[in-house]
A = this chain, B = another copy of it.
Amino acid sequence: MSDLGEAADIEDGKRPEGCGGRPAAGEDPVKREQILDGAHRVFMRMGFDASSMNDITREAGVSKGTLYVYFRNKEDLFAAIIQRQKSKIFEKLREILEEDRPLAEVLHDFGTAFTTHLLSETAIRGQRIVIGVIDRMPELASTFFQTGTNTGPVMLCNFLEKQVARGRLKPIEDPMMISRQFGDLCMAGLYRPRLFGEMREPPSAERIEKNVASAVRLFLGGYGAGGA
């Protein structure tokens, strides 16, 4: 889901085996990860503007010069952090959608996983920071949204179309819109309080379950085949 929520599961920063030599400048994946990890922590803690490159070098344990060999400038570094995010959540969501269980259950599990992730502390912080730099890095924010947040609904969309084909859902005019509707409905009343910091902690699992249950009920009430 790539909402800056989880560290990348990049190939784990192992140095290219076999060749005894030192890696090329700016090409040592271990060091690169080291920098990204440090920068990730700093950016998360302070936000983009308040994070200084000095802070980052300190946290990452590299020198300024090295930093600038690996990343041209602060924006590039930040963008790299955003882009390396390939959250494990996607895999989980896919698994849920592929299980052959009652529609209501699948939707419930999907919505729960989706909501839990997007409202987690790290995901929320990531979203906030990206929103904060949107004036300077609009492309980045857009990409972040498309490859992150929006991926869940895309997956769900395919699933819903299959459900329609199987007759479990009424025919849908605009499945992508419906799909997003479901996602937002699961987070309804929770997303923005979290984003604006009114809700300091992620909601409890019970709270999320309840919200999602309500969403599923509403959703199936509206679009379910046998419903209403």
Contact = CB atoms under 8 A, between A and B. Distances in A.
Interface of A: 45-47, 49-50, 128-136, 138, 141-142, 144-146, 149-150, 153, 176-178, 180-181, 183-185, 187-189, 191-193, 195-198, 211, 214-215, 217-219, 221-222, 227-228
A193 B181 CA distance: 13
Contact of A145 (B130, B132, B144, B192): B192
Given A141-B196, A181-B215, A184-B184, 10 more contacts: A130-B196, A131-B131, A138-B197, A142-B196, A153-B189, A181-B214, A184-B187, A184-B192, A185-B188, A218-B219
A137 B197 CA distance: 10
Contacts of A135: 45-47, 50, 128
Contacts of A153: 189
Contacts of A189: 153, 176-177, 180-181, 183-184
A103 to B, nearest CB: 16
A211 B214 CA distance: 19
Contact of A217 (B129, B136, B177, B222): B222
A47 B221 contact: no
A188 B111 CA distance: 14
A219 B185 CA distance: 11
A142 B46 CA distance: 18
A153 B138 CA distance: 30
Contacts of A211: 177
Nearest to A207: B177
Given A185-B184, A197-B138, A133 B130 contact: no
B198 A191 contact: no
